[in-house]
Homo-oligomer: A and B are copies of this chain.
């Protein structure tokens, strides 16, 4: 609680970003004698690890989101501001949110990363990435519209392109996406169409390295690839995408150049730092890596600015084993909690040893009930790993009602292979660019261009 008998004004902690890093920092400060302001441009915390399930029609956005205000409503020392930080004034110690100034004593920047096309931003139109709820709904629409268009298409070549799904990038997101789409095609949608056999759909997973899930142990990469192939996914490693345009993917395998016609290309490859990275570099003189991540000190602060911290995907922390920590939720959570603890220590005139990430292992799901889990001391695969994966994800979902609803939907879809959230929604502008016969796809929403 804020001590009102204290004469000096309470210490102001400003947290930019309500993802895992920012939210866990805020929660850890809930009872501290500080004022906390959490600034986010969205009004909800998003459980990104499950975003691919929204993209493939298994869950609804609200199932994996929690309103920031309700998550933090019990923290009476915490204020949530919906807005985007446009600038930082390190001399005056304030951040600009629109035309409003928010003063800080300690600033924690946790604005994360967005997907990167390695400078080929024109690829985005043909190969959307998966970072936001809107991204997921867009992917969902493209995936299900492709099957709808194929059902109508009479030209075999065009139908083939509509039934070809390419996932670029063999990390956890790419693996989970490819597995889920293969399962949609071979199981969920099998009975639903009359002109096409959805199980003839091709799903390709393209990875530049020599194996999928590079962060995992090699045998688990092999296990994951085997599970994917059992689901019918064509896994192509050592494959570099050189162009994506007009529904044609061009790739390089060794010296060989291949092209592939696909109406649905999904991007799960590179990430780059969010815009705040650049602002920090300009205003604090911080250095950043090639992905734009801000290089931080052993205590996650910025060199020369001991009261400005960077946590989560935006931070480049390489003080543990020389390699920067990966951009995953557990790292962000631990970094956020560490900084909160350090702030509290400092208020008592103390400090903390440097941040040390405790790797509790990595896990990825492959298709319906197979997963790979690498806990270091033990490696799980198959059903047991899937069950563990499910448990962990349910456990970390912020709000209880989400947990319950998601669990129900998983248990249900586990037994029925049914996916309820298969709505094709939103404006069809892009839709018609994606499929043949745009006239078929006029939706009600086109009457009102401002509709979401």
Write the residues of chain A forming the contact surface with B, with a CB cutoff of 8 angstroms. 41-44, 60-63, 65-67, 69-70, 73-74, 79-84, 86, 97-100, 114, 124-125, 128, 131-135, 137-138, 141, 144, 148, 151-152, 189, 191-194, 399-402, 404-405, 408-409, 412-413, 416, 418, 420-427, 429-430, 437, 439-445, 448, 450-452
Contacts and interface: CB of A to CB of B under 8 A. Distances in A.
A193 B134 contact: no
Given A43-B424, A66-B420, 6 more contacts: A69-B193, A70-B191, A84-B440, A98-B440, A134-B444, A405-B420
A450 B184 CA distance: 25
Contacts of A124: 448
Contacts of A437: 98-100
Contacts of A148: 43, 82
B98 A44 contact: no
A368 to B, nearest CB: 16
Contacts of A138: 448, 450-452
Contacts of A60: 60-63, 421
A141 to B, nearest CB: 7
Contacts of A402: 420
A241 to B, nearest CB: 20
Given A134-B444, A134-B445, A192-B70, A439 B99 contact: yes
A401 to B, nearest CB: 4
Given A424-B42, A426-B452, A132 B445 contact: yes
Contacts of A80: 192, 194
22 contacts: A41-B441, A42-B444, A43-B422, A44-B424, A60-B421, A62-B421, A66-B420, A67-B423, A70-B191, A70-B418, A82-B148, A84-B441, A124-B448, A125-B450, A137-B451, A138-B448, A138-B450, A138-B451, A405-B405, A405-B409, A405-B420, A425-B452
A134 B445 CA distance: 6
* A-B pairs, 7 with minimum CB distance: A426-B452, A60-B60, A62-B421, A69-B192, A98-B439, A134-B451, A83-B440
Nearest to A97: B440
Contacts of A424: 42-44, 82
A84 B443 CA distance: 8
A352 to B, nearest CB: 30
A169 B142 CA distance: 37
Contacts of A399: 418, 420
A220 to B, nearest CB: 32
